[in-house]
Each structure stands twice: as structure tokens, then as C-alpha cells.
């Protein structure tokens, strides 16, 4: 390959770190703000370019293994932070997002993926990319929502008012829920074509359903006008369900027969 993963990941992490440092210093020296933006965006751009090169090297979309999906999370989560800053003038979310993305790359650095060009027949379907991408973007939104909620909770504990922050967490959760619903249904329609039935309570399905229910519950609680402060706790803690759904399922006793465990080679 033209660039290897370690170089790309370390470069991205370095740029994000520089972006954070410039951003913090820019609170006193506002002329440095532009450097913060340039560094942060460059970090994500490096991951974007790496994914493109990796895609062409593998000859298939790098969306099969958990390690491959972490590359996408790492590239996309900071992007949500940048968009939120652009749209709502909230600058703190991107810092969390970059730390989070660096954490994902760190996992991949610790556990190098096996480069395997093979794509099993069940995954050779027009549903593959929409199903995974919709889920990925949905989870990215929900992760950002949880991170924002966590920030809101810490502000609450210090009794600082923060209405925009709460509405950002809510809006990201809403978007994430919409995408989760599509991901779930695309998955069901694909499963009917590939495995014969749209729903079989496969462990990953069950956990995806659980995450969906968690946010379905959130939206109804919000609609019932439950205290928004309490709901920030709810959104922050929903992250645990998400984490199990992404990476935890494979380690649960129920996962033995899952059709979603692509990381294991037979």
C-alpha cells in the first residue's frame, strides 16, 4: 500500500491534538483560531484519504470488519463536531469528537486488522453499502449526542445554564434515531434476500433493536416534556447500549451463532 495505517493514524491523531491545543490557546489569542480549524480538518482529511486508498487496495468497501468500521467512525465523528460548530456556533463538541476519534484509531493501532480482500457471498449485495453506511452515520450522530449530553451533565453539576447544548444533544439524537430506523429496516429487507427471513433475533439484531428502543423511549420522554436536565443523563448513558451494540456483542455468550461476526475466520 502507498501509505500504511500506522503512519496515517498517528498523523491524524497528531493533527487533531494540534487542533485541540490551538483551539484552547485561541480562547486568549483569537488569531490562532484559524490554525485550530486547519489542523482539525486536516486530521479528518488524512483519514478520509486513507479510507479511499484502502478501499481501492482491497477492491471492496472497507466496511466488513469492526476495525474497518472504526476507520469510518474516526473520519466522521470529528466531522459532526465541525458541522455542529458551523451550524450552532458551539465549539466544544468538536474537541470531544476528536478525542473520541483518536481513541478509535488507538484501538486499531493496538489490534492491527488482518487485510483480507475476500468478501463472503452473503455480503455481496446492493444492500451492503446503504445498510452499513446509514448505521454508521446514525451511530456517529448518537455518539456525538451522548458526548454533548455528557458535557451538558457536567455543566449542570456546576449549575451553569446551557440551553443550546441541550438542544444540540436532542437534535443529534433525533437524527440518529431516524438513521437507526432506516438501518434496521434496510437490514431486515436485506436479511430476507440473503438469509430467508427479515428478523431472526440474531444477537446483533437484538442489540440494534435495544439501541433503537432506547432512543424511541427518549423521544417519547421528550415529547412528554420530562425535565430536559434528566434527559441529558439518559442520553449520556444510552452510550453504554451503543457501545455494547458496536463492539460488545461479539464477546457476549449469545454471540456464538451470530451472522454478524465477520471478524472471525472459519
Partner 1 sequence: MAALRRRLFQSPWEFRESFIFAAAAVLAGFLVEYATGGTGIVKPRLPYNAVVLALFGVSVISAGLAFRNSAFVKWLGGIPLGLALISAISVLSLIGGIVPQGEPVPGSLATLLRINQIFSSWPFAAAVILFLVNLGLSLSWKLVPFSLKNIQFILFHAGFWLALSCGVMGSSDLQRLVVPIEVGKANNLGYVMESEVPQKLPFSVHLQEFSLEEYPPQLMLFDPKSDKLVAENSQAINQVRKGAIATWKGIEVQVVDFMPYALPGKDGIPRPAERNTGIAFAKVKILSGNVFQEAWLSTGSPMFKPYAVELGGLLLGMVPGTPKAFRSAVTIRDEKGEETKATLAVNHPVDVNGWKFYQMGYDEKAGRWSQLSLVEVIRDPWLPAVYLGLFMIMAGNLLFFWNGIKQHEAA
Which residues lie closer than 8 Å to 258 by C-beta, 6 or more apart?
Answer: 202, 203, 204, 249, 250
Residues 104-143 that bind partner 1 (CB under 8 A): 112-122, 124-125
- Of 47-55, 70-78, 95-103, 208-216, which part binds partner 1 (CB under 8 A)? 208-216
The binder of partner 1 chosen from 134, 149, 175, 236 (CB under 8 A): 175
User: Are 200 and 191 contacting, i.e. CB atoms less than 8 angstroms apart?
Assistant: yes
Residue closest to 205 by CA, chosen among 134, 129, 260, 261 = 260
The binder of partner 1 chosen from 53, 188, 237, 259 (CB under 8 A): 188
Residues 235-254 that bind partner 1 (CB under 8 A): 249, 252-254
Rounded CA Rg of the chain:
19
Give residue 216's Cα distance to chain centre: 19
* Grid cell of 227 as nine digits: 425535565
CA distance 83 to 266: 41
The binder of partner 1 chosen from 14, 49, 133, 221 (CB under 8 A): 221
Nearer residue to partner 1 within complex by CB, 28 or 224: 224
The binder of partner 1 chosen from 34, 129, 210, 243 (CB under 8 A): 210
Which residues lie closer than 8 Å to 87 by C-beta, 6 or more apart?
Answer: none
Reduced to 3 states (helix: H, G, I; strand: E, B; else coil), residue 60 is coil
Nearer residue to partner 1 within complex by CB, 121 or 161: 121
Residues 27-66 that bind partner 1 (CB under 8 A): none
Write out the residues near partner 1 by the rule CB under 8 A.
Answer: 112-122, 124-125, 167, 171, 174-175, 178, 181-182, 185, 188-189, 192-199, 201, 203, 206-207, 209-210, 213-214, 216-217, 220-221, 223-224, 249, 252-254, 256-257, 265
Amino acid at each position: 500500500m502507498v501509505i500504511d495505517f500506522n503512519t496515517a493514524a498517528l498523523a491524524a491523531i497528531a493533527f487533531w491534538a494540534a487542533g485541540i491545543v490551538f483551539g484552547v490557546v485561541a480562547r486568549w489569542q483569537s488569531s490562532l483560531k484559524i490554525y485550530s480549524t486547519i489542523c482539525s480538518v486536516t486530521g479528518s482529511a488524512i483519514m478520509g484519504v486513507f479510507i479511499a486508498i484502502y478501499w481501492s487496495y482491497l477492491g471492496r468497501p472497507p466496511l466488513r470488519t469492526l476495525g474497518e468500521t472504526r476507520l469510518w467512525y474516526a473520519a466522521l465523528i470529528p466531522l459532526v463536531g465541525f458541522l455542529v460548530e458551523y451550524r450552532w456556533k458551539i465549539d466544544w463538541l468538536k474537541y470531544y469528537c476528536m478525542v473520541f476519534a483518536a481513541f478509535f484509531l488507538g484501538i486499531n493501532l493496538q489490534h492491527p486488522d488482518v487485510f483480507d480482500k475476500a468478501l463472503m457471498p452473503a455480503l455481496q449485495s446492493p444492500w451492503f453499502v446503504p445498510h452499513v453506511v446509514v448505521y454508521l452515520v446514525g451511530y456517529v450522530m448518537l455518539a456525538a449526542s451522548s458526548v454533548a449530553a455528557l458535557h451538558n451533565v457536567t455543566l449542570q453539576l456546576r449549575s451553569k445554564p446551557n440551553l443550546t447544548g441541550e438542544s444540540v444533544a436532542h437534535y443529534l439524537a433525533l437524527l440518529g434515531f431516524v438513521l437507526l430506523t432506516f438501518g434496521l429496516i434496510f437490514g431486515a429487507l436485506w436479511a430476507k434476500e440473503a438469509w430467508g427471513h427479515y428478523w431472526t433475533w440474531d444477537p446483533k439484531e437484538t442489540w440494534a433493536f435495544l439501541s433503537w428502543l432506547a432512543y424511541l423511549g427518549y423521544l417519547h420522554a421528550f415529547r412528554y416534556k420530562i425535565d430536559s436536565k434528566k434527559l441529558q443523563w439518559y442520553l449520556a448513558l444510552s452510550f453504554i447500549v451503543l457501545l455494547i451494540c458496536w463492539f460488545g456483542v461479539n464477546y457476549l455468550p449469545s454471540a456464538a451463532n451470530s451472522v454478524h461476526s465477520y471478524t472471525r475466520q472459519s
